[in-house]
Amino acid sequence: MTRRRYTLLCCFLGVLILGLSACGGHKARVRFPIEQYQAYVKEGNQFFEKGHLWGWRQADERYEKAWSMAKSDELLEHRVVCLALQATRERDELIFDSGVREKIAGLGPFTSPQLRLLQALATGYGQTKPPLPADLTSVPFETIFDSQNSDADAYLFLLCLKTFRPEKQQEVQVALEEKHNQSNIFRYSAPLGNIDEILQADPDFAELRLYRGHLCFQNAELTKAREHFETAAKLLPDHAEAVNSLGDVYLFGFRDQTKALEQYEAALRIDSDNIKALFGKGLIFHYQGKYGESSRLLDTLLQQQPGWEYLGETQRQYYRGQAYYYKAYNAYLSDDLVNARRWVDTAKGYVPNFGGVYYLSGLLHFRLREMDYAERDFLRALEDGREYCDAPYYLGLIDRARQGDSVSAYFLACGDCYRTSLKELRKRIADIPKIDITEAEKQVLRGKLEHEVTELGQTAGKILVDILRILPQIEFEGKELQTQLLTEVSEELNVAAATGSHP
């Protein structure tokens, strides 16, 4: 709030107090609590200047208390500005049903062009071609906002251009972002400088905490990521994405399915349409062997029309593709090969560069003895990386059935892939002391990774046994050396299956 507006508010209060004093005759006079009113407005201004969602919510709580004591055009304007900022930021953060738009409507109807524009912005932000009041269609937005001297006005000006006149946004965006880049309100869209220093100065900046949390998660700084997500969720309890991100940390970082499931369910209590939380919950059920429950959740995800419209096109393609892939995987593991084929082919249309769909498709073709198609899909899966170690094994079997000359090469590639996977898992175990988590959590994580080593040893060990059974039946150059190498891999896998640790 500017000094001029604050002075006008004080003048308004003075008039109000005089009016109260002149009324009532000999009746007891009621003294207007001006000190309390001013305190609410001052506190509101301080929170407003923080330039982030938690601050604006705190500001409006103070403004609302002041509003209940006395109303003025100046305070009305500041309340609508504050609420419009909340509405747009909540939309960006995928926070729904907070009641902000209803609050704005309850303060109207408005006669001021600025307030009517802000109400239209709060209502239409994030929509495709939202309506603008007819009498504002020819009004230059720069005449409504003081974009050169006010961080909030500059930000709202850009949001109005983005929403109603996107063709004009680029003309002014870069200059305004450079001019106001030290304000929190602009740091939201383009974080600059040392983020940790910014958060140390303002620990309540929940949106920036989420951004920092994702960076920490990408760098395997699990404790820091968890702390940022937990703090963001406490500051904004209705932020489903913050809670969902916490679930991701537990599932993919700590390998703790129980805690991850708790977070995904908490996110769904906030937003039952949340695509990411539905996917996370369905994924956990898949891991737990609850294939029917997993597929039912994935069906719910695919049918959640309100949830999809808030994701970008890349995310929509990814989550739809992954949902159909895991539905297909669930069907395959349940021996429902017809639906597995239908859904894996659907998944290919959404995630054509994901090797998993081609590996699963190859397995389905192999089961039905459709070897040409199986070979094509296994080769395509291998283009995605070394993750699908079974693919060379199946390619070797296919080539042997054709009496080809690549059997040994495929088998050797299979053994090499397993050995590399085993080394990578053991390295992750060896690196656990370097991870920023508690000692108790390190022990739990070590146990889970050692269990993965055991499972790898058991499943891969069976395939190596079959490969070593086949090798004596075929002739190829370097047979003795390759047999020795694959025998060594088989022994390593046997040790892993027995101990889950180093030999």
Q: What is the pLDDT of residue 190?
A: 67
Q: What are phi and psi of 298, to 5 degrees?
A: -65, -35
Calpha distance 65→69 (Å, rounded): 7
Query: pLDDT tens across 54-95, in order?
Result: 999 999 999 999 999 999 999 999 999 999 999 999 999 999
Q: What is the pLDDT of residues 341-367, one digit of tens each?
A: 999 999 999 999 999 999 999 999 999
- Summarised one tens digit per residue, pLDDT across range 114-158 is 999 999 999 999 988 899 989 899 999 999 999 999 999 999 999
Q: What is the pLDDT of residues 216-238, one digit of tens each?
A: 999 989 999 999 999 999 999 99
Q: What whole-number distance in Å separates Cα of residue 94 and Cα of residue 307?
A: 10
Residue 221, CA atoms < 13 Å, CB-side half-sphere: 11
State CA 484 to chain mean position distance. 47
Kindly indicate the confidence band of residue 159, based on its pLDDT and cuts at 50, 70 and 90: very high
| Distance (Å, whole) CA 4 – CA 163 | 30
What is the DSSP track for 135-152? GGTTS-GGGT--TTT-HH
Cα 81 to chain center, whole Å?
28
Helix (H) or strand (E) holding 131: none
Q: Looking at the domain that runs over 389-503, which CATH code has it been given?
A: 1.20.58
Q: What is the mean pLDDT of residues 361-381?
A: 97
Distance between CA atoms of 117 and 451, rounded to whole angstroms? 59
Q: Does residue 17 have a pLDDT over 80?
A: no
Domain boundaries in the chain?
Answer: 3-179, 202-255, 389-503
Across the range 185-190, mean pLDDT stands at 83
Please report which residue ranges of 253-384 form alpha helices under DSSP H: 257-270, 275-287, 291-303, 305-308, 313-333, 337-350, 355-367, 371-382
Q: What is the pLDDT of residue 361?
A: 98
Q: Is the predicted pLDDT of residue 407 greater than 50, yes or no?
A: yes
Question: What is the per-residue pLDDT for 451?
Answer: 92
C-alpha neighbours within 13 Å on the C-beta side of residue 465: 8
